[in-house]
Copies of this chain bind each other. A is one copy, B any other.
Amino acid sequence: MNEADQRATTPGESDERYQEGVVDLLAALAYGELSAFDRLAEDARTAPTLTGRAALSSMAAAEIGHFRMLQQALADRGVAVEEAMQPFAQPFDEFNASTAPHSWLESLVKAYVGDGLAADFYREVAEWLDADTRELVLAVLADTGHSAFAEREVQGACADDRSLRDKLTLWGRRLLGEAITQAQHVVVERDALAELIIKGSGDLTGVGAMFRRLQNNHTKRMGNLGLG
């Protein structure tokens, strides 16, 4: 089968390798939701007001709603979410450990930038999936209200503070770098997932183009926060 034929292939349930890649994708998403829950719950604890605390707690709860959808989708495929998530725990945890925020605003930027990058990536991948899986992936990417909240808080805090703005801009760049590093670790370890991405992008040039789109969107996103 030549490359053009590969690209034309519509994924089907019969394709075992494709199914393996999909399970990886859903499991990575699921661990991402658990991580997001954890991070938002932690941020809720340090929120400067009870209003902020209630808002962030509600967003955290919404992530768990997404997690349960993924858990169900994996169960429908005969896969236990806990086992499927195991390979993704380390890279996600390392990303979080290497980018532990030192302030409420760093937390907000991290959640905004991290969720945005992840959502862009999964949305690209969703295009190559069968209709049911695509619908599920897009549903769990639905913003839980965090974005508008973060934009308001960060813009407000930076409006009259140039040095804070510069500091948070550097923070955003560092987050992008660490995210790419950990994403590469994942792809190297998970063959079926890597194939899904390469096949979907067309070829390695296509993968490169996708990464540039992710970086461009990251820059726009920093702009939305009033940074960069």
Contacts and interface: CB of A to CB of B under 8 A. Distances in A.
B37 A82 contact: no
Contact of A60 (B41, B45, B81): B41
Which 3 pairs between the two chains have the least Cβ-Cβ distance? Answer: A41-B41, A61-B64, A61-B61
Contacts of A57: 34, 37-38, 64, 67
A86 B50 contact: yes
A54 interface: yes
27 contacts: A34-B53, A34-B57, A37-B41, A37-B57, A38-B41, A38-B44, A41-B41, A41-B44, A41-B60, A49-B82, A50-B82, A50-B85, A50-B89, A51-B82, A54-B71, A54-B81, A57-B64, A57-B67, A58-B64, A58-B67, A58-B68, A60-B60, A60-B61, A60-B64, A61-B61, A61-B62, A61-B63
Nearest to A83: B50
Interface string A32-48: 00100110011011000
A126 to B, nearest CB: 23
B45 A38 contact: yes
Interface of A: 34, 37-38, 41-42, 44-45, 49-51, 53-54, 57-58, 60-65, 67-68, 71, 81-82, 85-86, 89
Contacts of A51: 82
Interface of A is mostly: helix
A198 B201 CA distance: 70
Contacts of A89: 50
Contacts of A86: 50
A80 to B, nearest CB: 8
Contacts of A64: 57-58, 60-61
A60 B89 CA distance: 20
Of the listed residues A49, A50, A71, the one surrounded by the most CB atoms of chain B closer than 10 A to its CB is A50
Contacts of A71: 54
Of the listed residues A64, A67, A85, the one surrounded by the most CB atoms of chain B closer than 10 A to its CB is A64
A32 to B, nearest CB: 13
